[in-house]
Structure 1
């Protein structure tokens, strides 16, 4: 049970609620944002003293029934409720290191996908595997050092080379928020993995934007369904973005496709022919 992080998470969720969100009258002007602790306690059917101690990191481990009541009182989503149970120590936590080895069947699949740019990322946003079209669309990851293949580091601390931080994508702010939320979940699952803890510490120290988003304690956001790349050789490409979770290793298979016959599909087909030479001739490699 991570008492301090549990307390911070509860406080962040409480402060985002308004009285009307839970059926209470707004009442007089409030000194602090969100609901009062005693209001959450009443809604969760627990004592105010116990809830206060939970937020202060001084309470013993709550039962599943108590956590369910608190989750309902705070109007938590399923993902936030799962996160609450992990912090409280009532859900399994991975031990050791997060997996970085990709299943051979997934590696083979990457090469068999027609006109689809595909990558596999770890729980800490390292690009572990990619196909040729992904290298042409984004970057030849094989030319980079392992540390420079990390999309979280690139998003917040900048690229190692001359290309733009996020390959000219249109949803840079949304992606950075997504990175923070997923890293928080990964850190909760792998609290002793130095690669994960070190990355979070590095980003908090080096990026005020990351620190600001980290303090929000968000763990779930809207899915990214499309993404627009500004490619130096073929211009703007808008693709469908689908992320499939490989649950056994906490990895993600990310697929970038375009509707058949569209201008974007033609641009992907051209990149498939040009390969990474399109980046070399543009002076970006």
Structure 2
């Protein structure tokens, strides 16, 4: 534990946050920038005396619960949170499995893309978050349990037997190979995670195609730049596919956009209005 560095770091983070940032009244008699020590202590659910000793480099090593409270109170970023743990002599352990929590800023990004369909996927291919247009283009993920939101499981094991494969995408074969590669890399990163090992075992047992791809031992996914969905309402819909990596969460943001002025853009615009409702009575 580096008490002096920890004290300086806490003080610098406290002084950059204003009372309004955490819902506290500013008042008129503040002699120091940022929050007061007692305010940080209150927000972190610790005593003012203990927090004061932390900033004076006199406190014993804080527990992980205290570090979590300080992270929340001081509005630390992921990198700052990790630095705090390092200074306190309690470095964060590597996650046992693929992270499933999506950052608030990423969720906000999805909502700010009204003309693009966007999803967030985990290292195993589970759809963790989506916007309304993605639900209209692919399916209403909220109506399915998390297990059935996994695109890799859906690709290799169904559920639509005899129907269009994975929403009728034109590059299902390429996506299958890329998915096997990503899953193999995830299995190496999380060798003891039940959700990873269980998914691999399930796919090896239930899919000959997956077994063949798995035996290739490939780990570098190929980019998927363009694909066509066979949508039951608007028919074939061709979109550009851009993937943004969220390295610290081992997640990906997948964004589908149509060429400006194209009929595909018109189809996406129609889906943004229709949403996930069914317009044909036969379904």
Alignment map for 1:261-276 (pairs within 5 Å)? 261-276=261-276
1:20-74 deviation digits (Å, cap 9, x = unpaired): xxxxxxxxxxxxxxxxxxxxxxxxxxxxxxxxxxxxxxxxxxxxxxxxxxxxxxx
| Aligned equivalents of 1:279, 1:186: Cα separation in 2 | 40
| Aligned equivalents of 1:104, 1:201: Cα separation in 2 | 33
Q: Is the 8 A contact 2:114 2:133 kept in 1?
A: no
User: Where does residue 105 of structure 1 map in the other structure?
Assistant: 105
Structure 1 residue 241 displacement after superposition: 0.2
Q: Is the 8 A contact 2:179 2:221 kept in 1?
A: no
Distance of aligned partners of 1:179 and 1:94 in 2 relative to their CA distance in 1, 3 Å threshold: farther
Distance of aligned partners of 1:104 and 1:203 in 2 relative to their CA distance in 1, 3 Å threshold: same
Structure 1 residue 282 displacement after superposition: 6.0
Distance of aligned partners of 1:281 and 1:244 in 2 relative to their CA distance in 1, 3 Å threshold: farther
Q: Is the 8 A contact 1:232 1:279 kept in 2?
A: no
| Aligned equivalents of 1:201, 1:278: Cα separation in 2 | 36
Q: Is the 8 A contact 2:124 2:196 kept in 1?
A: yes
User: Where does residue 55 of structure 1 map in the other structure?
Assistant: none
| Aligned equivalents of 2:152, 2:167: Cα separation in 1 | 13
User: Where does residue 21 of structure 2 map in the other structure?
Assistant: none
Alignment map for 1:18-57 (pairs within 5 Å)? none
User: Where does residue 226 of structure 1 map in the other structure?
Assistant: 226
Distance of aligned partners of 1:108 and 1:124 in 2 relative to their CA distance in 1, 3 Å threshold: same
| Aligned equivalents of 2:282, 2:242: Cα separation in 1 | 28
User: Where does residue 128 of structure 1 map in the other structure?
Assistant: 128
Distance of aligned partners of 1:258 and 1:171 in 2 relative to their CA distance in 1, 3 Å threshold: same
Residue 213 (structure 2) pairs with residue 213 (structure 1) = yes
1:172-222 deviation digits (Å, cap 9, x = unpaired): 111110110000111111111110011001100111110010000111243
| Aligned equivalents of 1:136, 1:147: Cα separation in 2 | 20
User: Where does residue 142 of structure 2 map in the other structure?
Assistant: 142
Extract unaligned runs of 5+ from structure 1.
1-92
SS of the residue corresponding to residue 123 of structure 1 reads coil
User: Where does residue 277 of structure 1 map in the other structure?
Assistant: 277
Structure 1 residue 108 displacement after superposition: 1.1
Structure 1 residue 139 displacement after superposition: 0.2
| Aligned equivalents of 2:99, 2:172: Cα separation in 1 | 26
SS of the residue corresponding to residue 261 of structure 1 reads coil
Q: After TM superposition, where is structure 1 displaced by more than 4 Å over at least 4 residues in a row?
A: 160-163, 279-282
User: Where does residue 248 of structure 1 map in the other structure?
Assistant: 248
TM-score, normalised via structure 2 length = 0.64
User: Where does residue 193 of structure 2 map in the other structure?
Assistant: 193
User: Where does residue 170 of structure 2 map in the other structure?
Assistant: 170
Distance of aligned partners of 1:161 and 1:144 in 2 relative to their CA distance in 1, 3 Å threshold: farther
Aligned alpha-carbon RMSD (Å): 1.8
Q: Is the 8 A contact 1:120 1:127 kept in 2?
A: yes
Q: Is the 8 A contact 1:124 1:186 kept in 2?
A: yes
User: Where does residue 47 of structure 1 map in the other structure?
Assistant: none
Q: Is the 8 A contact 2:224 2:241 kept in 1?
A: yes
1:51-105 deviation digits (Å, cap 9, x = unpaired): xxxxxxxxxxxxxxxxxxxxxxxxxxxxxxxxxxxxxxxxxx9551210000011
Q: Is the 8 A contact 1:94 1:189 kept in 2?
A: no
| Aligned equivalents of 2:223, 2:156: Cα separation in 1 | 20
SS of the residue corresponding to residue 248 of structure 1 reads helix
Extract unaligned runs of 5+ from structure 2.
1-92
Q: Is the 8 A contact 1:136 1:276 kept in 2?
A: yes
